[in-house]
Every structure is written in structure tokens, then in C-alpha cells.
Amino acid sequence: MYNVFFSHILEKVTLNEQEKQKIITYFIAKKLRKKEFLLKEGEICRYLSFVEKGLLKSYNVDPKGIEHVNMFALEGWWSSDIYSFFTGEKAIFYIDAIQDSEILMITLSDFEKMTLEIPIMDRYFRILFQNSLVTKEHRLLSSVTYSAKEKYSNLFQSNPELIQRVPQNLIASYLGITPETLSRVKKEITKQR
Amino acid sequence: MYNVFFSHILEKVTLNEQEKQKIITYFIAKKLRKKEFLLKEGEICRYLSFVEKGLLKSYNVDPKGIEHVNMFALEGWWSSDIYSFFTGEKAIFYIDAIQDSEILMITLSDFEKMTLEIPIMDRYFRILFQNSLVTKEHRLLSSVTYSAKEKYSNLFQSNPELIQRVPQNLIASYLGITPETLSRVKKEITKQR
DNA sequence: CGGATCGTTGATCAACTTCAACGGTCGTGG
DNA sequence: CCACGACCGTTGAAGTTGATCAACGATCCG
């Protein structure tokens, strides 16, 4: 159950057996069925969740009712509305399962306890957030720099697994384009070859 | 010299006098004249920099030669190409001063020493990156959701100081629109009142 | 089997960009 | 200290990308 979890953490910091056992006590395991919600807009996001198995998406619905995918979370990724989680304010994102999933969740108070008890977890999350920040920065840059076609090509290169596992309309939403445009873009690209 | 610096850090974590003195030894103070570069694309970003006074911008130049502002750094903000800084790979951003500035810089090896010696600094940077991540997430959402007019209005509400201190063409670049569009958008908005 | 969901295609439309020109202001060098 | 060039913001006209609206076929799943 904690295989993916610890292998992911141990990529960034080292933990002894005792620390591992302690960490496990802070987390709650949960299974999510496809289409089941982990969070809805307007709720307070109570958990920071690690995806052990499956695939989640977090997305926002704008005033026109259009969905915008914020991020996907494959195995080994974390998912949450971190603004809501850390501040206790209302969430702006929905989170649900694209495939049946198994997740590990921690509450804010347990997160605080854990990081104070095991300071190296602050280091882990510092590195995690730092890397996420880089990814977001690149995505933001990409979104203002590239055409629809280039955005899709870039994603195809950098994250082919996502394209295989996620329906096309969600990929479009993630890229900030319409499903129609993505369809045309794909046609264009295959025509070129 | 370290006023803004410590008041900013102490908002997030607590430090005793000894820790403060230790931290100071890791940083290098530097003055930057307006238009002076701190980093150029293709270089390795050797420093993580804190703005004690002044205003920096980081930006990328795309294949067409168009500049895209990644972020501004006012007093109390950090600036760096964090990808380059932490990986040692080539930087994709330029960083220069919009106004004469005073900054505090730390190298990666000193950053590592500092966080290992004073683990609470991992916590500080965890919180810092966590907050930056939220900001970037919101900006990314805003960039796909809102019209040019709404983007400008949102920035005006959330960060009026930036609009006062930064030339309009750089604001446009930051918002991912052309200076011409921003000019028209501002005209529209003032007309409405 | 039948409805819902998904991807595709076509036609029209709107937002924003691009290109071009102009006036104002800033700052620098002679 | 003034003049001139560089830079900045504005405006207009035309062009382009991607959105919108609508219809249709395919597939999945209960």
C-alpha cells in the first residue's frame, strides 16, 4: 500500500524505519471509484492526498460553466487545493477520479504535527513544492508563448502517458483550448507525417 | 540592510538571534543599477536572490524574439531561475532590474549548508514555495479563463502597486497580451466609469 | 438495446494580434 | 543646458487564430 509513497519520498530525502512507521500513522488510506469526488468547489479542502494508484484531476468551473483542468495526478503525485488546505478558506477546485484510485490522505493538523516531529518532511515538501513551482512556471510560459498545436506537441513529448490515459476533451481543457481545436490540431499533426 | 529580509522570514517561522547571525553569513549583498542584469538565458543561475530594495523582473524571450515576463520581484520577494539554480542546468530566464535595487544572494552550496544546519529554513522555503505555487496556479487559471480586460482588472485589484511602478508594456507582457491591447483595454475600462 | 459520452467536421464569429504611424516624455551626450 | 534620439503609450486598419454553434457518427456501458 505504501510502496509508491515511500519510493517517491525516498527519491528526495532519506528516512529510517522508525520515521517511516511514524509517518504511516498520520495517513488515511481511501479508495475512490471513477467519477467519485474528493473535493468540491466551495468546500474546505481537508486533505492533502497522495495517489498510490489511479488517476485524479483537479479542475475549476468558470462563471460561464466551462471546466478548466488545473492538473492531473497520476501515481506518485500529490493532489489537493493547497490554497484551501493551508488557509482553511473555501476551495476553488473540484477534484475527482478519472480512474478507480487508491489514495493516502493527511489532514492539516496531522501535517503540522508530522513536519514538527520529523523536520525532514519539511525538506521533502520544500523540494516537492519547488519542483511543482518549476513545472507551473513552465506551463504558464508555454500557455502564453505557444500556439495550440505547439502546446499539444509539447505535452505529447513531455508527458505521453497522460495523453494515453486521459480522454481528449480533458487534455484540451488542460491545455486551455477547446476539444474541437484539439481535434483539428491532431489532424494537422498526423497530416504532416 | 537585513530589515526587510528578516521581517519577511519571521512572518513564516521563528528564529533566534544566533540563527539570524548564522544566516547572514551565507548571504552576499549586491546593488544593481536599473537595466543591469542578474542573469541571462543560457547561463547557469548561481544565486537565489532576495530583494531588499527595488524591483526586478524575470522574463523569457521566445523564438520570435518576443519577451514574456515571468514575474516581478518587489521588496520582500525572491527572484531566481529556480530550475537552473537547483539543477545546475542552463537558465531559460533573464533577470534584470527595473529600478535600482539592493539584493541579498545565496549560492546553492550555501543554501544546502544553511538548510542542513538550520532545518527551520527548509520549513521557511517550504512555505514560501507553497505560497508561490498557489499564486502561479491562480495565474495559470486566470490566463485561460479571463479576457484581456478581466486579466487587467484582476491584476489592478490584487496588485495595484505593480501597476504604479512598472511600465505598461511590461504589465502587458506579464499578462500575456500586447501593449496595444492593454492600451485599448484601459481605455475601455475608464470609459465605463 | 438505447442513451450518454466522445471525437470529428463544417461554417461563422469574435478577440486579440500585427503592422503602421504619430505625439509625448525622458535622459543623455555634445 | 539644450537638442536629439530612444522609448513609450495611443490609435487605426487589416489579418489570424481559435472559439462558438451545430450536426453527425462511433463507442461505451448499464
- Mean pLDDT, chain A, integer: 95
A192 falls in which pLDDT band (50, 70, 90)? low
- pLDDT above 70 for A15: yes
Residue type, B33: R
Residue nearest to nucleotide D21 (CA to C1'): A180
Integer Cα distance of A78 and B35 in angstroms: 40
pLDDT in tens, A103-134: 999 999 999 999 999 999 999 999 999 999 99
What is residue B192's predicted lDDT score, i.e. its pLDDT?
67
pLDDT in tens, A85-99: 999 999 999 999 999
Residue with cell 480533458: A170
Strand C proximal to A119 Cβ, under 7 A: no
Q: Are the C-beta atoms of residues B77 and B54 closer than 8 Å to each other?
A: no
Structure-block grid coordinates of residue A173? 481543457
C-alpha distance from B39 to closest chain A C-alpha (Å): 17
How many Å from the CA of A45 to C1' of C3? 35
What is residue B108's predicted lDDT score, i.e. its pLDDT?
98
Is any Cβ of chain B less than 8 angstroms from the Cβ of A141? Answer: yes
- What residue segments make up the domains of chain B, in order of their start? 3-114
Cα–chain-centroid distance for residue A124?
17
Show the low-confidence residues of chain B (pLDDT under 70).
Answer: 192-193
Q: Which of the residues A71, A85, A94, A122 would you substitute to probe the B interface, choosing the one with the greatest number of B C-beta atoms within 10 Å? A: A122
Q: Give B44: exposed, middle or buried? Use CB within 10 Å, 0-12, 13-18, 19+.
A: middle
Q: Are the C-beta atoms of residues B56 and B96 closer than 8 Å to each other?
A: yes
The residue ranking higher by pLDDT, A65 or B136, is B136
pLDDT above 90: percentage of residues in chain A: 95
C-alpha distance from A129 to closest chain B C-alpha (Å): 6
Q: What mean pLDDT do residues A57-61 have?
A: 96
Integer Cα distance of A67 and A179 in angstroms: 12
What is residue A10's predicted lDDT score, i.e. its pLDDT?
98
| A143·B143 Cβ contact <8 A | yes
pLDDT in tens, A143-175: 999 999 999 999 999 999 999 999 999 999 999
Integer Cα distance of A178 and A183 in angstroms: 9
Q: Which CATH superfamily is domain A3-114 in?
A: Jelly Rolls (2.60.120.10)
How many Å from the CA of A189 to C1' of C10? 19
pLDDT in tens, B48-60: 999 999 999 999 9
Covered bases, chain C (protein CB within 7 Å) = 5-11, 15-20
Inter-CA distances, A169 with A97, A193, B153, Å:
15, 23, 30
Strand C within 7 Å of which CB atoms in A 171-190?
Answer: 179-180, 182-184, 186-187
Integer Cα distance of A93 and A68 in angstroms: 9
Closest CA to A140 of B132, B84, B163, B43: B132
Q: Are the C-beta atoms of residues A92 and A42 closer than 8 Å to each other?
A: no
Is any Cβ of chain B less than 8 angstroms from the Cβ of A90? Answer: no
Q: Which of the residues A85, A144, A170 would you substitute to probe the B interface, choosing the one with the greatest number of B C-beta atoms within 10 Å? A: A144
Residues at the strand D interface (Cβ < 7 Å): A 64, 66, 147-149, 176-178, 180-181; B 167-169, 179-180, 182-184, 186-187
